[in-house]
């Protein structure tokens, strides 16, 4: 960032360490109380021009100003940790695409949800097999939790069987006891 900072005084410079609670609250203004939400996400195989063009074409059909598509760049420290060192197995540098549907009027629910699903389907050919557990929707097909934990799923099942054999903690993206 030094070359950019040396170019001239920035209008705003917010790069640097942040307390966790400040980071966690950064998007609060964009998600007002009472807003309706639906999203789908997946890692991408690559961020090609075709992926970007597809994202732009899909976003052009979005009618809800609080909705959008977000790219998260997974890199740096996250890609330097061994895939089996934590529950999170996806340690390859790359991008996660999140299609965010957010609207205020309940009458828009069907249309906005359809836009998210259509956008996700249009991007499906470019998606990798991995998923980020925090973005799994309630209506996912297949076994998205297994995809989110990848090769670590069996190990996490064994931990669940040892510490929660009755599956008391199940109101989440649940790992069934192994």
pLDDT in tens, 55-78: 999 999 999 999 999 999 998 998
Residue 18 lies in a domain: no
Q: Residue 114 — very low, low, confident or very high, per pLDDT cuts 50/70/90?
A: very high
Residue 15 lies in a domain: no
State which residues form the domain around 92. Answer: 32-149
Residue 157 lies in a domain: no
pTM: 0.81
Number of domains in the chain: 1
DSSP assignment of the chain? -HHHHHHS--S----S---HHHHHHTTGGGS-TT-EEEEEEEEBS---HHHHHHHHHHHTT---TT-EEEEEEE-GGGGTS-TTSSS----SSEEEEEEEEEES-GGGHHHHHHHHHHHHHHHGGGB-S---GGG--TT--S-HHHHHHGGGHHHHHHHHHHH-TT----SSSPPPP-
Residue 123 sits in a domain of what CATH number?
Answer: 3.40.462.20
Q: Residue 90 — very low, low, confident or very high, per pLDDT cuts 50/70/90?
A: confident
């Amino acid at each position: 960032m030094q070359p950019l900072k040396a170019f001239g005084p920035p209008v705003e410079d917010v790069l640097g360490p942040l307390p966790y609670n400040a980071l966690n609250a950064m998007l609060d203004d964009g998600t007002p109380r009472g807003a309706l939400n639906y999203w789908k996400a997946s890692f991408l195989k690559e961020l090609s021009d075709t992926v970007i063009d597809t994202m732009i074409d899909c976003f052009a059909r979005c009618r809800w100003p609080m909705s959008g598509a977000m790219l998260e760049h997974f890199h740096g420290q996250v890609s330097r940790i061994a895939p089996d060192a934590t529950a999170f197995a996806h340690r390859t540098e790359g991008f996660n695409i999140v299609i965010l549907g957010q609207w205020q009027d309940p009458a828009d629910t069907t249309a906005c949800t359809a836009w998210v699903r259509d956008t996700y389907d249009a991007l499906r050919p470019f998606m990798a097999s991995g998923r980020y557990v925090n973005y799994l929707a309630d209506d996912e097909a297949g076994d998205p939790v297994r995809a989110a934990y990848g090769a670590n799923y069996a190990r996490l099942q064994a931990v669940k069987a040892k510490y929660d054999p009755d599956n008391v903690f199940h109101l989440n993206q649940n790992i069934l006891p192994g």
